[in-house]
Structure 1
Amino acid sequence: MKSESTLPTMLANAAAQDRSDDDVSLLMLWQNVLSHRRLFYGITAGVVALAVLYLLVAAPVYKADALIQVDEQQGSALGALSDVASALSLNKPIDGELDILTSRAVLEPAIDATQARTTVKVANRVPLLGRLYGRYYTPPDGIADAPLGLTGFAWGGERLVLSAFDAPRVLYGKKFRVRAQGGGRWTLEDRDGNLLARGALDQRVAFEAPTDFGPAPGFIEIRELHGRPGASFTLVESSLDDTIDVMRKRMTVQETTKGSSMIALSVKNSEPGLAAAFANAVARAYVALNIKHRAEQSRLSLEFLNRKLPAFREELAQSEDRLNAYRIRTKTIDIEEQTEALLTRAVDLTKQKTLIDLNLQATREQFRPGHPAVKTLEAQDSVLDGALRDVEKQVQALPSTQQDYLRLARDVAVDTQLYTALVANAQQLEVAEAGTTGNVSVIDFAARPDSAAWPKTPIVLAGGVFGGVFLAFLVVQALAALRDTLRDPLDVERVGQAPIFAVVPASTAESQAARGQRRGNKRQSAQPVALLASSSPGDPSVEALRSLRTTLRFSLLGKEGGSILFTGPTEGVGKTFVALNFAYVLALKGLRVLIVDADLRRAGARRYFSANTSYKGLANVLAGDAQLEDALVQTGFDGLDLLPAGSALPPNPGELLERPAFAAMLKEAATRYDYVIVDSPPVLPVSDAVTLAQVCDATFVVSRADTTSRHQLAETMKRLNQSGIRVTGQVFNGFRATRYGYGYGYRYQAQG
C-alpha cells in the first residue's frame, strides 16, 4: 500500500522538480567534487608534489639569444647597372633566410667550432642529491666543497671544455671517460676502463681505441678542466647528421616582427656557455656564408662583363662610323624638334632593353628557368618590347631622311651609354670581389645566460596546481559517472518504485561518534556509541525518525504493534543506525520495543550498548540452546530491550534463519512487546534479508546518499519482489541538501 506524500518527500520533490536522470549541471559536477573532496585534494596535492619534485630534480635549461639584421634589398646580377636601367629590385623573402640559418651549410661549421658533436657529462656525481647540492652550494667559477668529506664525488662546478675530439666512427654513441689527475693533467679511458691516452691542457694527443674491427685512431685536445683530482667525465661523440638534428631542435629562429628584417636566434642547452657559444657560432657561420655567396655573385658577374665589353666597344665604334658617314653623305647636321624627342625616347627605351637583356643573360647563368628573378626580368623585357614597337611606329611616320638619321643617332647614343656603364660596373665588381661585404650583420651576439630559462618556478607550480585540479576533477567526475549513485530522494523513489517514508539528514554528531569508536577499536579501548536519539534528541536525523514513527502508525499498519524489518542493498547505508534510533523513538512514546540483531554475520547492534552482548542471543535461541527470555538484554532505556546476534558466529547463519524457529520467536516476542525491530543483513551480499522479510509484518529498505547506486537499489527491489515480499517503504539516509555523493561495492564479510 502506497501512502500519501510525506513532508520529506514533498520537500525532495520541490528541490528536484522535473529533473531527469540524465541531467548534467554545474551544480551536479560541484557536488561530485564535494562528495569526493578527500580524493580531489589528494590528487591535487600529489600533482603539486610532483611539480615540486620536478623543480628539484630537473636539469636546468639555459637559453642564449642573438639578433641578426638582414638587408632585404638585393641588386641585380650586374649591380651597378640597376641604377641605370632600374631593371631589377629583388626582395629576398625573410623566410628563406630563416631556412638558411638552420641549413647544413651553416650548422656544420658551427658544430665544428663548438665541438657540439661530443656530449660531455659529469660521471661521478651523486644522482639527484649531487645536482641539488651543486645548485645551491656551487660558488661562481669555482668548485663546491664536498660535504662530509666525500671528495670522491662531484658536487658542483666541475667542467670540461674540449678543443677537439675525434672518436672512431664505429664508436659513435659509445662512452669514453676522462679523469682529472690534478695540475691540469688528465687520462682518457674507453667504456671498459682501458687507458687510451694521457695528456695536459691544450695538448693534442692521438690514441687508438679497440673496436670489433681492430684498433682505430682518434685524437683529443682539452682546453679547460675544472674539478678535484678523481673527477670524471663521460664523452659521447655522435655523427654529424644526428648532431645537426639535435641542434635544430634546440634552435629557434624567427623574425622579431613582420617586415622588420630582424631575426631572433635562440639556442637552448643545459650548459649556459655552450648555448651562447653555439648561438654565436651559428651567427658567424651565417654571415660568412652570406659574404661567400655575394663574392661568388660578383665573380660570375665580372666574368660575364669581361666577355661582353669587347663586343660593345666594337659596336660603339661601328655605330659612330655609320653616323659620320651618313652626315657627310647627306650633309645633315640638325634635326627637327619632334625627331629629337623621338630620338631621346628611343635611346632611353633601347638602353633599358639592352640592360634588361644583359641582366637576364647573367641571371640565367646563376639560376634555373622558372626562378623568380628570371621571371621578373622576362616580364620587364616584354614590357619594353611593347614600348619600343610603339616608338618604331612613330619613327616610320617621319620622312625617310629623318628615319635613317634617327636610327643611326640612336645607336651611337645607346652604345656610348651602355659601354660607359659596363666599364664602370666592371671596375666596381673588381673592387667588390676583392672585399665583399654581405647584406646581413649581427646586431647582438649571444651572452652567457646567468639564469635558467627552464624550469620556471612560478610556471611549474601554477601548472602543477591547475593540472592537479583538472586531473582531480576528471577523476572525480569519471568515478561519479561509473558509480551512478543516487542523488536525491526523488531518484530513490523513482528507482525503488516504493514510497519514501523518511529522509534522514546526515548527522555530524553521529559521524564524529563513529570515528571516535573506530579510533578506540585501534587502541582496544572502544566505548559504545550513544544512540543519537538519546544523546541529541533535537538532531534533524532524530526528527526525521519521529516523522517515520508518525507515518508508520497512521498510514501503514493501521494498528499498533508488529514486526518491522530494516535492510539495505549493501553494508554502510546506516540501516542499524536507523533501526536502533527508530526503536528508541518508539520507546519514548511508552511502547515496549525489542531490537533483534538478525545480522548473524556482522552484528552491529552491540556497538551501541554497553550491556554484555557476548553471552547468548538470536543464534542460541534459533539453535535451541537458549530460551528467548534468557537471551534478552536490557539496554538501559525504559521499554527498550535487545536480542543480540549471539555469542559466536554460527557455521550456517543462512540455514539457521530459515528455520521455523525464527517465526516462532517473533510470535513469542509479539506477546511481550508492542514492536519488534529487526536489524537485517543487507540484501545483495547474502539472502538472509529475503528469508527474514517473509515472516515480518513490514519491510523497509534503507539507502544512503553518497553510498547507494541506482543499480544496487534496483537490484535490491527486484530480489525482494521476486521472492514475493512487498516492500512497505524506503528510508533515504545521509541526505545533504547542498550536495550529493556516490558509493559502490558489495563487499560484506564476517567479523569474529
Structure 2
Amino acid sequence: MTQMPSLPSTPPRNNDIDLRRFFGNFLQYKWWILAITLVFTAWGWGYGQLSIPIYQGDALVQIERRGTVNPLADAMGSEGDDNAMAEVRILSSRMVLGQVVDQTDIDTLVQPRRLPLIGEYVQRNGIERPNPEEHPVIGWLLSRLPFDLLAYMSFDEAVWGHEWIQVTELDTDDRYRNTPITLRVASPLQYRLYLGEELLGEGMVGRLEAFMDGALSVRVGEIRAPARSEFALTKLSRTAAIGSLRSRLEVIPDGGRSGSTGIITLLLRGEDRAEIDSSLNAITRTFLMQNVERQSEEADKRLRFLEEQAPSMRETLTGAENRLNEYRVQAGSVDLSSESSSLVSRLIELEERLNELEVSQEEMSMRYTRHHPAYQSLMRQRTRLLEERERLNARIDEMPGSQQEIIRLTRDVEVAQSIYVSMLNRAQELQVSRAGIVGNIRIIDNAHVGGGPIFPNRKLMLLLYSFLGVLLGVAFAVVRGLMSRGIETSQQLEEAGLPVYATIPQSDSQQKLVRRIHNRRRKYKKNVIYGTLATANPTDGAVEALRSLRTSLHFAMVEAKSNSIMITGPTMELGKSFTTINLAATCAQGSQRVLVIDADMRKGHIHDAFKGSPELGLSELLSGQVECQDAVRHTHIEGLEYISRGKVPPNPSELLMQKRFSSLIDELSAKYDLVIIDTPPILAVTDATIVGKVVGTSLMITRFQVTTQKEVEAALRKLETAGVRVRGAILNGIERRLAKQYGYQYYSYSYR
C-alpha cells in the first residue's frame, strides 16, 4: 500500500499583521472604498443643502450697582454679585418671556406645506412651481410612471418658492391651542379652513372671520399662493410659547457664574432672522422696563413707610418738648454742665444711628431673610451701638438727680427732633429719586443677527462626511480582508502538506474566452470556456506559468505508475477546466500526444472549449454505447484530442467504479504520452476519489483568496481516506495588481 503523507492536525497559523496583505486588500477593494467615499460625500453635501439653516442673534446688557435707592444697602458689602446672578435668572423667567410673547406674535405659527425632503430647500432658494404642461418631456415621463408621483409628493398642495400668506390675526380658545388648523387657498381672495378632514368654513381676505361659534377667529391680510396650496395655522398656548422661546435663548454672564463684571450676553437661535431680531430686542426692552418698574416700586414702598411713620414721630417730638418745658418750670432754671452736654450729644448721635438702623432693618426684612449676610451685618452694628448706649446711661446714673432728669428730657427732645427732620429729608430725597430713577440696567448692544447660519456648516459637514466615507471604506476593506480566509500564499498550502507546483496569475485575455451560462432547467450558473488561452495568447503570464507546470510535471511523474494525471479541486469555480485544457494545449505544443478526458459527467463543459458537443462521450463509452475510437475527438491543436463527458447519466459514480474505466485509462495511457482527466469537486461528490485510485498523479487546484485552508484540509482528508495521494497543488487566479503585495512576481518575454 502506498504510504500517504500525514496531514498536520493543527497547522501553524501566522497571526502576525501582514502590512502587505492589508495594502493588497486596499488595492483589491479600492473601487469599493472610492464608491463608499463618494456616497458619503454626496450624502454630506445633500444633508448640508437640505438642512434648515439656523441663525443666531446676540445682544449685550450691563447690570450697574448705582441704581439702588438704599444707601445703607450699597455700603453693606458684596451683594452686587448676587444681584447680577439674580438678574440672569430673571432674564429667562416667565415674567420677562411672557411679556415678550404678549408683545410679539411668536405664539402664532404659519407653516407652509412642503414637498417631502426638499420642500424647505425649494422655498429657501425661491424655486418656482413647475408646470408639467409646459414641459412635454416631463409630462411624458410622469405619465409613464406606474403611480401618480405628483399626488404622492402632494404637488398641488405643496408651497413653492415666492408663495406665502399673511395672517395678521389668529386667536383660539384653550381647547384649540397648540392644534394645527389647515388653511387651503381657494382663490387670491378666498380660503377654506379645516380641522383635520373637517371643513370649518370659508373666509375672505382682509376680513376678521369667526369659526366654531367664535372658538377660532382669523384675519388673513394677503394671499400670494395658487389655489389648493395649504398652510398650517397654530396658536400656541402661552406656556408652550414661553417654553419654545426659552429653549432658544441662552444667557451668558461675563465673568462666569459670579457675573462679577455685570456684563450679560444674550444669544437667541432660530430659523427666521427677522423674528430673532424682534424677539431679542423685545427681551432686552422688557428686561429694562421691569427693572425700572421694580426699583420705582421699591422707592414707593420706602416713601410710604416714611410717610406712615412721620405723624407718630411728630407726636413723639411734641411730647418730649412739652415734658422738658414742664420740668424747667417746676425745677427752675437748670443748666447742663460741659460733661453733661457731651454725654447728651453722644447719646443723641447714638439714638439717630439706632433709628436709621431700625428703618434699614424694616426695609431689609422685605428683601432678605434673617440669615442673609447683609442682614446679619446690620444686626451686629445695632448690637454695638446698644452696648455703647448702655455704658453712657450708666455714667448718667452716677450724676445728681436733677442733672439726670434734665439730661434725659433734653436727650429725648434732641433725638426726636433729629429723627423727625431726618425722616422729612429722607422722604424728600426719595421723591426726587423716584422721579429720576432709570434702573441699573443698560442696553449696550441691541440685537444683531449674523450674516450666515450657525448651522449647518456646509464645508465642515462635507469634509466630515467625506472623511467618514474614507474611514468606512477602509474599514470595509479591512473587515473583508479579515473575514476572507482564502489561500493567499504558497506557504499556506505547504503548511497543509501540499507542495506547490505552480502559481497561475489571473489572465485578462482568458476573461474574453469565458461566458456566464445560466441553466434554467437545472437551476445553476457556470462559467463556460470557449477557446484555449494557449493558442489565443501564447505569451500570456498564465500560459507561461502552465509551461513551468509542464516542466515540473515531467520530473514529478518519473516515479508515477502511469502517465495519467487527475486534476481536481475542493469546490467549484476554481479553474480546473481552464488548467486542464491549457495544460494539455501547452504539452501538445511541446510535441506530446495528449488526451483530455472530461470525467465531470454532471456539469463538465470541456467540449465547449473545442466547439464540440457533449454527446458520445465518457458516459456512453463506459456504458458500452460507443467504442473508444468513436468517443475520441480531434481539436484544432495538433497532438491534442479529448473525450467529452457524454450525456448526463443517472449514476456517474457507479460508471467510474466499473473495471471498464480503469481498463480504459490503461489502454489510453499506452496510446498517448499524457492523459489528463478533469474531475468534479472533491467535497461535492465522490468521483475524484474513484478516479484518483486509477491515475498515476493527482493534482489539486486551489484559487487565490477563494479556497480556504479548511477546504484544502477536508479535501485531502477525504482523498487520504480513499487511499489517494495528492502529489501537489496549483494556486490559480492570483490577481496581477495584488501579486507584488503577496510576494509573487511575473515576467513576460516575447519577440516584437
Shared fold (TM-score, shorter chain, > 0.5): yes
- The residue correspondences of 1:278-427 to structure 2 (distance < 5 A) are 278-303=279-304, 328-332=335-339, 362-367=363-368, 375-378=372-375, 380-381=377-378, 426-427=427-428
How many pairs does the alignment contain? Answer: 689
C-alpha distance in 1 between matches for 2:18 and 2:313: 88
- The residue correspondences of 1:557-596 to structure 2 (distance < 5 A) are 558-559=559-560, 562-596=563-597
CA 1:401–1:543 in 2, change beyond 3 Å: closer, same or farther? Answer: farther
CA drift at 1:582: 3.3
CA drift at 1:158: 1.9
Match for residue 205 of structure 1 among 203, 209, 227: 209
The letter of the residue matching 1:227 is A
Which residue in 1 is equivalent to 2:628?
A: 628
CA contact (8 A) 1:167 1:217 kept: yes
CA 1:134–1:100 in 2, change beyond 3 Å: closer, same or farther? Answer: same
Which residue in 2 is equivalent to 1:267?
A: 269
CA drift at 1:671: 1.3
Which residue in 2 is equivalent to 1:212?
A: none
CA contact (8 A) 2:57 2:449 kept: no
CA contact (8 A) 2:111 2:231 kept: yes
Which residue in 1 is equivalent to 2:599?
A: 598
SS in 1 for 2:662: helix
Which residue in 2 is equivalent to 1:637?
A: 637
The letter of the residue matching 1:465 is S
C-alpha distance in 1 between matches for 2:497 and 2:548: 17
CA 1:672–1:32 in 2, change beyond 3 Å: closer, same or farther? Answer: same
Q: Tell me, which stretches of 5 or more residues in structure 1 are unaligned?
A: 4-17, 209-214, 742-752
CA drift at 1:65: 0.7
Q: Normalising by the residue count of structure 2, what TM-score does the alignment of the two structures yield?
A: 0.74
SS in 2 for 1:157: coil
CA contact (8 A) 1:611 1:634 kept: no
Which residue in 1 is equivalent to 2:167?
A: 162
CA 1:235–1:696 in 2, change beyond 3 Å: closer, same or farther? Answer: farther
SS in 1 for 2:695: coil
RMSD between aligned residues? 5.2
Rg larger for: 2
CA contact (8 A) 1:553 1:560 kept: no
My pick for the range that moved more, 305-314 or 229-238, is 305-314
CA contact (8 A) 1:253 1:263 kept: yes
Which residue in 1 is equivalent to 2:749?
A: none
C-alpha distance in 1 between matches for 2:55 and 2:503: 63
C-alpha distance in 1 between matches for 2:4 and 2:500: 10
- The residue correspondences of 1:623-702 to structure 2 (distance < 5 A) are 623-646=623-646, 648-702=647-701
Which residue in 2 is equivalent to 1:15?
A: none
The letter of the residue matching 1:617 is G
CA contact (8 A) 1:513 1:529 kept: no
C-alpha distance in 2 between matches for 1:110 and 1:399: 64
CA drift at 1:101: 4.3
C-alpha distance in 1 between matches for 2:415 and 2:16: 88
- Residue by residue, what CA displacement relative to the aligned partner does 1:598-646 show, whole Å, maximum 9, x if unpaired? 3333335345x34424443333323333333322333333433333333
CA contact (8 A) 2:188 2:225 kept: no
CA drift at 1:514: 0.8
CA 1:386–1:216 in 2, change beyond 3 Å: closer, same or farther? Answer: closer
CA contact (8 A) 2:94 2:242 kept: yes
The letter of the residue matching 1:622 is L
CA 1:528–1:230 in 2, change beyond 3 Å: closer, same or farther? Answer: closer
CA drift at 1:91: 0.8
- Residue by residue, what CA displacement relative to the aligned partner does 1:211-270 show, whole Å, maximum 9, x if unpaired? xxxx6722123345433455442324454444544444444554578567231412222x
C-alpha distance in 2 between matches for 1:626 and 1:99: 104
- The residue correspondences of 1:240-279 to structure 2 (distance < 5 A) are 240-254=238-252, 261-269=263-271, 271-279=272-280
CA contact (8 A) 1:145 1:155 kept: no
CA 1:331–1:432 in 2, change beyond 3 Å: closer, same or farther? Answer: closer
CA contact (8 A) 2:597 2:643 kept: yes
SS in 2 for 1:636: coil
Match for residue 32 of structure 2 among 39, 43, 65: 39
CA contact (8 A) 2:188 2:223 kept: no
The letter of the residue matching 1:221 is R
SS in 2 for 1:564: strand
C-alpha distance in 2 between matches for 1:683 and 1:291: 96
The letter of the residue matching 2:533 is L
CA contact (8 A) 1:46 1:468 kept: yes
CA contact (8 A) 1:272 1:450 kept: no
SS in 1 for 2:373: helix
CA contact (8 A) 2:20 2:742 kept: no
C-alpha distance in 2 between matches for 1:724 and 1:354: 121
CA contact (8 A) 1:68 1:265 kept: no
CA drift at 1:569: 3.0
The letter of the residue matching 1:89 is E
- The residue correspondences of 1:463-612 to structure 2 (distance < 5 A) are 463-494=464-495, 497-502=496-501, 504=503, 506-507=505-506, 510-515=507-512, 517-518=514-515, 528-532=530-534, 535-537=537-539, 539=541, 541-554=542-555, 558-559=559-560, 562-606=563-607, 609-612=609-612
CA drift at 1:107: 3.7
CA drift at 1:390: 11
Which residue in 2 is equivalent to 1:9?
A: none
CA 1:519–1:734 in 2, change beyond 3 Å: closer, same or farther? Answer: closer
My pick for the range that moved more, 64-73 or 653-662, is 653-662
C-alpha distance in 1 between matches for 2:493 and 2:414: 106
- Residue by residue, what CA displacement relative to the aligned partner does 1:321-347 show, whole Å, maximum 9, x if unpaired? 99x99x9433338989xxx9xx89x98
CA contact (8 A) 1:74 1:92 kept: no
C-alpha distance in 2 between matches for 1:407 and 1:723: 135
C-alpha distance in 1 between matches for 2:171 and 2:616: 90
C-alpha distance in 2 between matches for 1:136 and 1:697: 79
Which residue in 2 is equivalent to 1:13?
A: none
Which residue in 2 is equivalent to 1:6?
A: none
CA 1:94–1:563 in 2, change beyond 3 Å: closer, same or farther? Answer: farther
Match for residue 217 of structure 1 among 215, 218, 222: 215
My pick for the range that moved more, 144-153 or 654-663, is 144-153
C-alpha distance in 2 between matches for 1:113 and 1:363: 34
CA 1:445–1:719 in 2, change beyond 3 Å: closer, same or farther? Answer: farther
C-alpha distance in 2 between matches for 1:388 and 1:490: 102
The letter of the residue matching 2:486 is T
The letter of the residue matching 2:58 is A
CA contact (8 A) 1:597 1:643 kept: yes
- Residue by residue, what CA displacement relative to the aligned partner does 1:332-369 show, whole Å, maximum 9, x if unpaired? 38989xxx9xx89x989x99998777656534433456
Which residue in 1 is equivalent to 2:110?
A: 120
SS in 2 for 1:68: strand
SS in 2 for 1:708: coil
CA contact (8 A) 1:72 1:92 kept: no
CA 1:263–1:131 in 2, change beyond 3 Å: closer, same or farther? Answer: closer
The letter of the residue matching 1:42 is A
The letter of the residue matching 2:201 is L
CA contact (8 A) 2:164 2:224 kept: yes
Q: Tell me, which stretches of 5 or more residues in structure 2 are unaligned?
A: 6-10, 136-154, 329-333, 520-527, 744-752
CA contact (8 A) 1:115 1:162 kept: no
SS in 2 for 1:637: coil
